[in-house]
Structure 1
């Protein structure tokens, strides 16, 4: 029996927590959610919601179902102990009293007994724990099958510096045969929302779609906007005229018309899959498929028959009027509790189209003039490793050099062998005629291949391969420390292990954002190649910076606007490498020596300005240390240089004689900045 079926048969709305005391009949959009909660193939169900959509009742029904029907141990966390006490007294205890089926498995019903407390309820064959989420100790010493986190965004993001509450709660189900995590919340501030972060991590995200009574096209009920071709529309300030605009045929739908067709609705995923009322999943072609392990639902007040569309518009108009007077508190509450959306507040973002527009016509895999050192960063996924190569020059000037995909199971050696070959053996031609190899590499150890990354970094330490991990909150520096990690790979443990380097990701992203605002090539400028894909630009611009004011000052955090961000993550780790190698502290003499090897000083000035000459002469004045660090390798010595024609009415410029080592020639790419 599914949870939907069990609730329809047994569940009851108690007088203490409902407008009407009666047997419960789930609303159409609730049925699939209930079915997914009881589906053992689904490990995590997230629910970003507004008020008045019945989430608490669904959680109560699930607690009763798993105790009565499946006899599984459970744990529920509320944001505080007081919230827990109120939930048990006003919601849970009345449910245990009024749902008669629960008396079959709850011997301590109405008894003053240790098996019936605010902290725990002992059922026949199972135990349910109820705790507040403020203290780290509340997440210890229990092993259960099902966990719930109610109003997740009201929890502390880092519980007593031991981790996020959903991560701590998830540890309690790691040994379960059929682990299940259910989280739900009204979202709060953009960039600081735990439920939105979980939603972004889900395998698929679903909105409830209904059929238009005029054209039969299906669409979600949306708030829209004044100039949007969908969503709520009304005349002037007449809230009673509120209608929903169909995005397909442009018809205006009343709430009565919506309620007449909502039984035919279904959940539609961002991947084209659908969920029917009974929890059956189908792909975009309509074929029945297995469900994802982690899914997220989004629903807001307009779907509920308990709220009228006219009242929603009235609430918005009142909040809008206050915002015009400088008080945006009501508008914030409207967005959070009615629309079920995060409040953005002060937010900054980079537009992908703007980045693409500023991209330059230089080829990938060829090192441009002024770029003197190559650093690689690797993002690890379950089925691939993505490698970005970034070039650096004087003054932290940056260039995109290459971006490669290495597909394969990242738990196996084969894919890592190909990555190592690329990192160690690839030689990138420089426009001056020399070649550069990758000087150092950073590999992300997050995800499911953590120990494999540790091993890869350990055995390739001589190639300057570093295992890194982002520290998304509480960081103090871009280089945010290091820790020694034991290796447990293929049954082996190593006493010394490998060094795991922590990256202050928000600080790096702040720095990168600042560099992207530099408008002219030179120190701090980020050069992007037009050869990069549209998806690369979308990933690179896929985050926004949100600022929250607290009693301790302003907090800034970068938040994902899309699921895939590999290009941005790789750039972050490349900048960490730049700081780890202390490139910004290198003296001018060090850069001069490096430039002498990579870009020999006896090249034609006009040849340097226009592009790569055919060949370059090797110099003997560069310290060996710079060559070892950079791996620059001059090509075959040439007998002369090809000269570029000068502007009209000028004679061709001949190859310049080699300059004495003590005199430095200013390169053409630096003329504008000095």
Structure 2
């Protein structure tokens, strides 16, 4: 039976433990001891192990260095960069309570990250759950965008929302995917600068900036990395033991091995990754900067990376750009920002029929002007190889029903392959951004069953990335389906495709005649990409070099249409087969005979 003296002794021990200072843990040690990976975001749910990806340890522990204020991580996908931020967040909540600002590229992305990554981490990590608990919509101390805990709080912010960046002083700034930030948060200026100023009241502030890079000369993370120690994770050669980073140019495709820079020996992936590596700085700076590529990742096999590279190379420039950013963690240097209209005009072809044999599906795009509709029909085949089918203009008064009826009838046309297969338009994107917005909504609403959709360009901030299919809505009062497009993304895709010179993935074919005359190609190439600067921050913008750009816009809308329907290119989206043989057509200089 326990005596009063025993109870008193036990109480004293518990009190002593409660009052004792916490053990001196680093971020990686905290994660190894406490962090739990959630089922929603990890294929390896359960206890965190830094040993799974040992290159992460020095990055996380740099946060504990009292002399290091800024940490920059320029990285590919599949290397755990978001997990590093989450471990830092967990450490500060549990071990070093502080006011924290966690920024994502937009308010919407911030909400998603909070719900899909932060909330599960708090739920599954007991020591964090004790301090924060469950998110409650009516509890202002614990919501999706704000969570308080003893000694601090987490404020979630969107780089496009000025109020979320300048509301309160913070000690810890966690900035994710900074290459996706707009150049300015409203009229307030650079969102990263705004957020960093919030840390000025703290002598022990920490600023951690992370991103996959984008375009050379317009990449924030590249700019930050160039100002840093520029550290690369070096592994010893399994044969000669000379330290070196894993680089793509030393990968041998046949053997799926990495060639030593010094002895030339080829060692396979597992021989390299089993070595104990170390970070090597290539510059002097007070900013710690780390570069990571997928070759280091324990979650990505070299065979997969090589296959992805070959696939991207086959698909063309746009795919290769994405692979360079997301697999190598390197910026992409644009080679040609403008396409010569004369070159494309001169490569026009004579098609064997209305619809060339490689076409599987037709889309259409309609540009709405005050006195006309401009329409382009495009055929699409495997790997997004495209064929211009017809460019057509309908003139008239858009205030009168006659021209709208003409447009309706024209969009019901069919085109035929040499074997007699007939094709109609599978999806149409129609511009609603001019002076006839409600008329476009009314036209499209009545024809949604034919997949005729109103579209408009997204109002993106300078430098902000918006995907081609940005969102959908049903504006009142007509509630027609409206698809919002990231037109800059679409223009980059079109320009990359126009630059491809060999038949195959993403190549753009154009016929002789059918409306594809010199003026069309001038309007197709009427814009070019320029790098501009605002308060020293680079961003890219498409600028007109000619007044008429309808051809360029229509090809972007057609690209959006094929993205919307996302067809299976193993089948044909035809109407029926014509029983009578199709009359062969001979074309000379655009004249059908």
> Which residue in the other structure is 2:49 paired with?
25
User: Contact (CA 8 Å) 1:107, 1:123: kept in 2 or not?
Assistant: no
Per the normalisation by structure 1, the TM-score is 0.46
Aligned partner of 1:304 in structure 2 is 297
Pick from 62, 79, 88 the counterpart of residue 114 of structure 2: 88
Tell me the residue number matched to 1:7: 31
Show the 5 A alignment for 1:583-622: none
Per the alignment, in what secondary structure is the counterpart of residue 167 of structure 1?
helix
Cα offsets for 1:80-112 (capped at 9, x unmatched) = 111111101110000000111113322556685
Give the deviation of 1:550 after TM superposition: 13
How far apart, CA to CA, are the structure 2 residues paired with 1:108 and 1:40? 33
Number of residue pairs matched by the alignment: 324
Answering whether residue 73 of structure 2 is matched by residue 61 of structure 1, we say: no
1:39 deviation in Å? 2.2
Q: Which residue of 297, 308, 311 maps to 1:315? A: 308
* 3-state DSSP of counterpart to 2:216: coil
* 8 A contact 2:94–2:131 mirrored in 1: yes
1:334-345 → structure 2 map (5 Å cutoff): 334-345=323-334
Q: Is it true that 1:97 corresponds to 2:97 in the alignment? A: no
- Gaps in structure 1 of 5+ consecutive residues: 225-230, 236-240, 274-291, 349-472, 475-548, 560-674
SS of the aligned residue for 1:163 comes to coil
Q: Using the alignment, how far apart are the partners of 2:206 and 2:525 within structure 1?
A: 34
Higher relative contact order (CA closer than 8 Å, sequence separation 6+) = 2
Larger Rg: 1
Give secondary structure in 1 for the equivalent of 2:208.
strand
Aligned residue in 2 for 1:266? 278
**Structure 2 CA distance for aligned equivalents of residues 114 and 558 of structure 1:** 39
Structure 2 distance, partners of 1:297, 1:170, is: 20
Unaligned 5+ segments in structure 2 are: 1-24, 338-461, 464-523, 535-593
Instruction: Measure, in 2, the Cα distance between the counterparts of 1:178 and 1:551.
Output: 52
Report the CA distance between 1:307 and its aligned residue. Answer: 0.4
Match of 2:235 in 1: 210
Give, in whole Å, the separation in 1 of the partners of 2:138 and 2:208. 30
Q: In the alignment, is residue 43 of structure 1 matched against residue 69 of structure 2?
A: yes
Deviation string 1:556-593 (CA, Å, 9 cap, x unpaired) is 3599xxxxxxxxxxxxxxxxxxxxxxxxxxxxxxxxxx
Q: How does 1:535-550 map to 2 (within 5 A)?
A: none
* Structure 2 CA distance for aligned equivalents of residues 205 and 114 of structure 1: 41
Name the counterpart of 2:403.
none
Say whether 1:257 aligns with 2:271.
yes
Aligned to 1:147: 173
Q: Is the 8 A contact 1:120 1:129 kept in 2?
A: yes
Match of 2:530 in 1: 555
The alignment's TM-score, normalised by the length of structure 2, stands at: 0.52
Q: SS in structure 1 opposite 2:304?
A: helix
State how 1:104-503 maps to structure 2 within 5 Å.
Answer: 104-107=130-133, 112-202=138-228, 204-224=229-249, 231-235=250-254, 241-261=255-275, 264-271=276-283, 293-323=286-316, 328-346=317-335
1:8-41 Cα deviation digits (max 9, x unpaired)? 1001110010012110101210000010123232
- Aligned Cα root-mean-square deviation (Å): 2.4
Shift of 1:216: 0.6
CA distance in 2, matches of 1:187, 1:331: 14
Aligned to 2:358: none
3-state SS of paired residue (1:176): coil
Deviation of residue 63 (structure 1)? 0.7
Superposition pairs of residues 68-87 of structure 1, within 5 angstroms: 68-87=94-113
Residues in 1 aligned to 2:26 and 2:533: alpha-carbon distance in whole angstroms: 40
- 159 and 215 in structure 1: CA distance in 2 versus 1, 3 angstrom threshold: same
Give the match's secondary structure for 1:331: helix
